[in-house]
Structure 1
Amino acid sequence: MRIIKLNAIDSTNTYLKQLCSQMPVEDYTAVMTKHQTMGRGQMGSVWTTESAKNLTFSVYKDISGWDLKYPFYMSMATALALVKTLESLSIPKIKVKWPNDILSENKKVCGVLIENVIKSGQYSSSVIGIGLNVNQTQFEDLPKASSLRIISGRNFDLDEIAQRIIDQLKTFFKMIGNGELEHLKYLYESYLFRKDKPSTFKNAEGVVFSGIIKHVSNTGTLEVLLEDDNIKSFDLKTITLLY
């Protein structure tokens, strides 16, 4: 496993993808930076981070030997790796806010962006971008954001956390390689924020409605029980959970 450390870069995901296009890259190669100028989240959202205080890195995963029909399992495995890492650091009340935001005490501490590469009609590799709020204490105009430092009162070593995350990624990606998809999905749903609880949502048209999160499908859609007792599937960014 190789770790590349950079002082500043536009995006660790972009850097790692470009590296992969230029040369063979060892499995679980990671790119870390103290400062990311153009961090990205799901669906083009922007991830901002205070320099040298947070963990901003991307990990390369070779999946060329897998028969990966549903790439959302990569997202589930990544979320679980982060959950288990934070639990090992005694961070309380960890939940996964669909699809893969990580919450502690109902505050967002981590975001994920996974970009899959397809070759000859098959998924060949993934670049997993992770932004974890670690030692930052100020989040201007972000009332739902927090950090490990705020929650625990402790300072953390970024390199140590990165190593723990990579070790956990190996554990949960191994489950995908072994075909343990049903158990992986069960574990993921056990941490799903607001699962089986009456919740309020807003759809893409701005309409607010009530429902209960029941499951996540193999393709990653959120299965919500509506007030008319029908279950409806929602794609990423078609609804927002209001909390």
Structure 2
Amino acid sequence: MPIIKVNAIDSTNSYLRRLSVEKNMEDYTTIVAEYQTNGRGQMGTVWESEESKNLTFSVFKDVSAVYIEHPFYISIVTSLSILKALQSFNIPKLSVKWPNDILSANKKICGVLIENVIKQNNLYASIIGVGLNVNQTGFYNLPQASSLKAVTGQVFNLEEVLNSILFYLKSYFLELESGNLSVLKEEYETYLFRKNKPSTFKDAKGVVFSGFIKAISVSGNLQVLLEDNIIKEYDLKDISLLY
């Protein structure tokens, strides 16, 4: 499992994707950056991180030998891997804000960006990008952001945290490759942020409404219980959780 460390690059996902086009990649090849000049998050957002204080890395995962009807299971596996690794460092009150933000209490400590590589109309590989706030404590104009140090008061060894995440990533991908889809989905759902709590959402048209997060569908859509006991499914681009 090659781990390639670089100083400053635009984005570990972009860098690893370019590498995967140029040559055959070994499974779990990981690019770790001291600093990203153009880190990317979900839905075109920017991921900002102080140099040398956090983990910004991307992992190449070959999924060509696995039939994955619903690619969201890659997101499930990634989220659970990060959660389990952070639990091993005693990070409290962990949850997943759908689809794959990792929270401690109600503060975001980790973001994930998964980009799938398609070859001949089949899912060939995934580039799994992770931005984890570790030892940074100041977050300018980001009131909902936090870090492992801010939560615990401890300084963490970045390499130890990375190795733990990669260990669990391998373990959970073995579960996926073994076909244990329902087990993975159920475990993911137990960590859903605000599950079964009254929550406020905004849809793509800007309409604000209330509901209860119940579960996810097999395709990864969020299932929300609305008035009159109606459960409706939402795609990522269709809904955002306000509080």
After TM superposition, is the score higher than 0.5? yes
Give the TM-score category using the shorter length: over 0.9
What is the identity, as a one-letter code, of the residue corresponding to 1:105? A
Provide the C-alpha distance between the structure 2 equivalents of 1:68 and 1:138, rounded to a whole number of angstroms: 40
Aligned to 1:135: 135
Matched, 1:61 2:61: yes
Q: Give the alignment of 1:35-184 within 5 angstroms.
A: 35-184=35-184
Per-residue deviation, 1:228: 2.4
Paired residue secondary structure (1:237) = helix
Q: TM-score, normalised by structure 2?
A: 0.98
Provide the C-alpha distance between the structure 1 equivalents of 2:20 and 2:91, rounded to a whole number of angstroms: 34
Matched, 1:241 2:203: no
Provide the C-alpha distance between the structure 1 equivalents of 2:205 and 2:49, rounded to a whole number of angstroms: 30
CA RMSD of aligned residues (A): 0.7
Question: C-alpha offsets along residues 57-111 of structure 1, whole Å, 9 cap, x if unaligned?
Answer: 0001011100110000000000000000110000000000000000001100000
Question: C-alpha offsets along residues 170-225 of structure 1, whole Å, 9 cap, x if unaligned?
Answer: 01111110000000000000100111111111112221111011111111110101
Per-residue deviation, 1:24: 1.1
Provide the C-alpha distance between the structure 2 equivalents of 1:97 and 1:43, rounded to a whole number of angstroms: 15
What is the identity, as a one-letter code, of the residue corresponding to 2:170? K
Paired residue secondary structure (2:237) = coil
Provide the C-alpha distance between the structure 2 equivalents of 1:45 and 1:236, rounded to a whole number of angstroms: 14
Provide the C-alpha distance between the structure 2 equivalents of 1:57 and 1:122, rounded to a whole number of angstroms: 25
Aligned to 2:220: 220
Matched, 1:188 2:188: yes
Question: C-alpha offsets along residues 126-169 of structure 1, whole Å, 9 cap, x if unaligned?
Answer: 11000000000100111110000000000111111111100000
Per-residue deviation, 1:227: 1.2
How many residues of Structure 1 are paired with residues of Structure 2 in the alignment?
243
What is the identity, as a one-letter code, of the residue corresponding to 1:54? N
Provide the C-alpha distance between the structure 2 equivalents of 1:191 and 1:105, rounded to a whole number of angstroms: 12
Provide the C-alpha distance between the structure 1 equivalents of 2:45 and 2:64, rounded to a whole number of angstroms: 28
What is the identity, as a one-letter code, of the residue corresponding to 1:176? L
Provide the C-alpha distance between the structure 1 equivalents of 2:20 and 2:241, rounded to a whole number of angstroms: 36
Provide the C-alpha distance between the structure 1 equivalents of 2:192 and 2:210, rounded to a whole number of angstroms: 17
What is the identity, as a one-letter code, of the residue corresponding to 2:196? D
What is the identity, as a one-letter code, of the residue corresponding to 2:208? V
Provide the C-alpha distance between the structure 2 equivalents of 1:131 and 1:238, rounded to a whole number of angstroms: 24
Provide the C-alpha distance between the structure 1 equivalents of 2:121 and 2:35, rounded to a whole number of angstroms: 35
Aligned to 2:15: 15
Provide the C-alpha distance between the structure 1 equivalents of 2:222 and 2:159, rounded to a whole number of angstroms: 34
Per-residue deviation, 1:237: 3.0
Aligned to 1:199: 199
Misfit runs of 4+, over 6 Å: none
